[in-house]
Every structure is written in C-alpha cells, then in structure tokens.
Amino acid sequence: VPAEVRAAAARRALIGRPARPAYHRRVSATPFPNQPSPFADVNLFDLDVALREAVAHGRAMWAREALSSWGATLGAAQTYALADAANAHAPELRTYDRSGTRIDDITFHPAWDALMQLAMARGEHCSAWRSPQPAAEAARAASCYLHAQVENGTQCPLTMTYASVPVLRRHAPHEAETWLSRIFDDRYDPRSLPVAQKRSALLGMGMTERQGGSDVRANLTRAAPDAGGAWRITGHKWFFSAPQSDAHLILAQTDGGLSCFLMPRIVPDGRRNNIRVNRLKDKLGNRSNASAEVEFDGALAWPVGAPGRGIATILEMVQHTRLDCVVASAGTIRAALTAALHHARSRVTFGRALVLHPLMANVLADLALESEASLQLAMMLARAGESDANDAQRAVARLVAPAAKYWVCKRAVMATAEAMEVLGGNGYVEENVLPRLYREAPVNSIWEGSGNVVCLDIRRALRREPEAAVALLDRLADARGANRRYDDAVGRLGSLLRDAAHDEAPARRVAQAIALTVSGAQMIECAPPAVADAYCASRFDDDTFGGAAFGTLPDVTRAPLILDRALS
C-alpha cells in the first residue's frame, strides 16, 4: 500500500471513520443495468472527510454529533424531494383578499415551510449569536455548508436574519430587545402578526433601486420624521429580498444623508405596513425563495444607526451575508462534485468504471481540489468572525472576504457546468439535481455585490488599511517552505498588492490572486501533502494564478487518493 494511502487511512482513524479502498463502487439494485442509483439516503457530514477535518481544525468538534445528525437529515431522500418540490412550485403573490382588501401576501408550497422548519430548528439563523462559545461561527458555517448542498433558496432569509443581529445590537438597542428575543427562537412561524405576537421572526434587507442598482448613493427613497421616534418612508426598492420576512433593513434619504431603517411588515397595532408588493421577480434560479419589487407609501420604520451613516451601518450586515455567499457557493460546488463522482463510480463505460478512465479521473480530481479549497477558504473566514479572533485575523478577513466572495462564487458556476458534463445528457435533464444547481450558482456571485463591486472593495480596503496587506502577507508566510509553487505565488502577490491601491484595472486579478494564495495556504496547513501539492501544482505556475478549465492537472497519478478523500 503506498505511503500516501496509509497516511490517509491514519488521518481517517483520527476523525472516526475507517478507510476503504479507493474507487469503491456503491452497488445497489436499479431498474436497468449500468444506471447509477440516486445519490440519496446518505449522511452528508459523515461522507465528507475534508469537512470533518475542517470542523476539528476550527475547534468545533463539540458540534460534531449535531452536524452528523444534520447531515443525515439533509441527505435523506425525503429532504431532497422537499427541495425539488419547493423549487418546482415557486411562491405566489396574493395582492388582494376575497373582499378586495390589499394584503400583499406571499404564499409558499408546503415543502418550503418544511425546509424552513428544519433549518430554523438547527439554529442556522441565530445559533452563533444565541449560544456564543468557542468556534460557534465555524460550527454554524459547517451547518450552512451542508444545507447548501440540498436547497439554497431557504438559506436567503436565514442568512439575512443572522446578519442583522450585530447591526440591531449595536445600532438599534431599543428595537433589538423586542426583535432579538424572537430572532433567537428556533420555531418557524410564518404568520403575519406584529412581532410582539410572534414566536419567532425573520429579517430581510432592501438596498437597491431601479435607477441606481449597486450605486445606492443614488437612491431616491425618502424618509420623513413621524411621531414617537418613528419615520415614514416613501419610495421603492427594485430588489426586496424575502418580502415575507417580518421586517427589513432598508436605506432611505434624510436631510442628514442616506440612512438605515428597520421597517416591519406588520405594524404594532396589527395593521399591514404601507408596503406594496408590485411583483415577484421571475429569476433564473433561487426559485423557491421570493424576491420582490416594492413601493413604500408612507411606510412606518425606525432608524438604525446615525443619520447619514446608512451605508456604513448596513455594510456591517453585508459583511456577514458575504460570508454565507462563500459558504453556500462552496456547498454548491460540493453538491455538484458528489453528484458527478457518485455517477462516475457507478457508471461503466468501455469495460470499466467511468472514474477509472484517466481523463475523467483528472476532471473529477480537479473538481475535488476546487471543492476542498473552497471549503477551507470559507471556514477560514468563519474562524475570523469568532468572538476570540485577534486583530490580525480580522484585518486579513477584510481583504479575503470580498476576494473569496468574488472567486468561490464564480467557480461554482464553472464547477456545476463541468459536473453536468460528467453525467452527459442525463446531467442536463430536470430529473437530475445538476440543472437546478447550475441555475442556482450565479445568485451568490450577483447578490450583495457582483464581481466588480467586491473587487473595488478590496482596492478601497488596501487604500484605507495598508496594514491589512501586511497582515495578509504575514499570514501567508506561515505556510511557506512546504511548496515551491506556493512560495513563488506569495511573492508575486506581494508585488500585486503594492500596486493594487493605485490602479483599478487589475482589481479582478488581485482578487483572484488573494483567493488562490489563501486557499493554497489553507490546503498546505489542513490537507494531506499529496492533496495540497496537487492543488498548488494546478493553481500556481511560473507566470500566472490559476483559472484554467477543470481537468488540466499536471499529474493524475494522485487522482485515486484525491477522489477517495472527496467522497468516502
């Protein structure tokens, strides 16, 4: 047995799962020969060596039993069926009731409610805040990563609710007392009631308008003072995420400048707020979730943060939603990989399992490296958000978060398309999960700042906080000495960072370089040497940072080890 395989077996023993031979084929009865069985009734946590090791590395082993239980729930055939149903039956807008009263209700398929109930019981919307403890963020990120492998639409309101908590605590302490007690409840409650009468509450956000898009300083929506510290909002939002939420954080112009407000869907006396849902967006993907275009006609709201500081206030929320964009995209890549690898192990072509053909093994191993690197990058960001993270970790994250959001979310689109090709024509039909994953993949790249927006955020951070670049290079230096290609890449990144603050044109190259080098450091420190070396050999060459098509690994001999690790 090669030394690398023995080392992999030893690593598995440490995390509690016995090794098995590479390319083990799951054989089960199917109606027709050579047709792989569905990838279902599996434990998504127990099958994921890299995730279990990342949880251990992030000091979140206390959550292992709960994560394993969640992995079994999500991997059940019944849960996959709920995900399919929720996306096949999109939410519908009910503008009026039978008496002609304007209600603007959003109705969901029962599968949506079932999935929301499962995820809220897991605490995805609040666990890190409700039960602060070491590695709470890492444990929550692992939970979200598993969820993303099955259904992404339900993650949207959960993510925004999670991201709203630090904003409410810091900038709206009077409102926070009422809202947080409901946010921290894990009983899903879709009823349209004032927050004081609800068991639990979910929050959304609304920033963009039709005339400005990402340029929120061009917003036209206005806020005027009302009685008792409240304000009245008049205007619109072009994208109003999860309009069924109990409240939204929104931006509106005041005499003091663009400001942030908390706008409830139902006002305290039980009446519906003056929020008119004009339509639900007909989106490419994320179809289980509702996104709306709305008008405000003197809608009641309460200020959050200082007047004129709306962008700075709501960006505190965006920093957390960006983390979840990375986590969810990494989960999407993982889901595409497992679908492709399960198929290739079970499908026989030209006399042997598809996975045994060298060219296919190269593609799958490359996808497996992308999946693990994306996971490692997401978990690194989660650790930087822990309550005990030091200043250097937080400074590094201010550069890495937008870079990871840029890179991982874009790679999810490529990865799902490549995985679809592994299945051929079967991968392109709707009975398979890959078309839904493919449609879902772009949303995280677009939502809360598309590629150019987040790349410019990196440039601004470099100009405002030059010490962040120093902290990043210091962090990357910790992994030097183990791989020549990585060491050379860190040197090239240093040169890029020195020029990045002064020139906008190469901003995408800078973002890609940051994401890849940090991923390389994480792989060197957390993955077996053979896996880390394969990643560095394929992502760093003598002149550029990687980004070629999948299936171009320079050395395919380690593919069996990589793939056995990818899906145990």
What confidence tens digit (pLDDT) does each residue in 181-202 have?
Answer: 999 999 999 999 999 999 999 9
pLDDT confidence tier of residue 500, bands split at 50, 70 and 90: confident
* Averaged pLDDT of the chain: 92
Rounded-to-integer distance, Cα 156 and Cα 334, Å:
19
Distances in Å between the alpha carbon of 493 and those of 373, 485, 517, 543? 18, 12, 8, 11
Which whole number is the average pLDDT over 68-87?
98
Question: pLDDT at position 501, please?
Answer: 75
Residues 23/562, Cβ–Cβ less than 8 Å: no
Rounded-to-integer distance, Cα 339 and Cα 347, Å:
12
Q: What digits encode the pLDDT tens for the residues 153-177?
A: 999 999 999 999 999 999 999 889 8
Q: Picking from 26-40, 90-104, 121-135, 137-151, which range would have the lowest pLDDT averaged per residue?
A: 26-40
pLDDT at 8 over 90: no
Rounded-to-integer distance, Cα 231 and Cα 444, Å:
32
Question: pLDDT at position 545, please?
Answer: 64
| Token code pair at residue 269 | 């006396």
Residues 278/297, Cβ–Cβ less than 8 Å: no
DSSP string, 43-78: -TTTT-HHHHHHHHHTT-GGGHHHHHHHHHHHHSHH
pLDDT confidence tier of residue 473, bands split at 50, 70 and 90: very high
pLDDT at 474 over 60: yes
Q: What digits encode the pLDDT tens for the residues 388-400?
A: 999 999 999 999 9
Q: What is the pTM of this model?
A: 0.92
Q: Picking from 80-84, 163-167, 283-287, 546-550, which range would have the lowest pLDDT averaged per residue?
A: 546-550
Q: What digits encode the pLDDT tens for the residues 530-542?
A: 999 999 999 997 5
pLDDT confidence tier of residue 205, bands split at 50, 70 and 90: very high
Q: Which residue has the higher pLDDT, 16 or 254?
A: 254
Which whole number is the average pLDDT over 22-48?
75
Rounded-to-integer distance, Cα 244 and Cα 489, Å:
46
Q: What percentage of residues in the chain have a pLDDT greater than 90?
A: 85
Question: pLDDT at position 448, please?
Answer: 79
pLDDT at 346 over 90: yes
Rounded-to-integer distance, Cα 123 and Cα 117, Å:
10
Residue with tokens 């308008």: 209
Residue with tokens 């609800």: 198
Q: 292: part of which helix (H) or strand (E)?
A: strand 291-304
- Would you state the torsion angle of the CA atoms of residues 112, 113, 116, 120, taken in this order, to the nearest 10 degrees? 180
Question: pLDDT at position 557, please?
Answer: 85
Other Cβ atoms within 10 Å of 426 Cβ, number: 15
Of 568, 531, 520, the C-alpha closest to 553 is 531
Distances in Å between the alpha carbon of 189 and those of 177, 198, 242? 19, 7, 15
DSSP class of 273: P
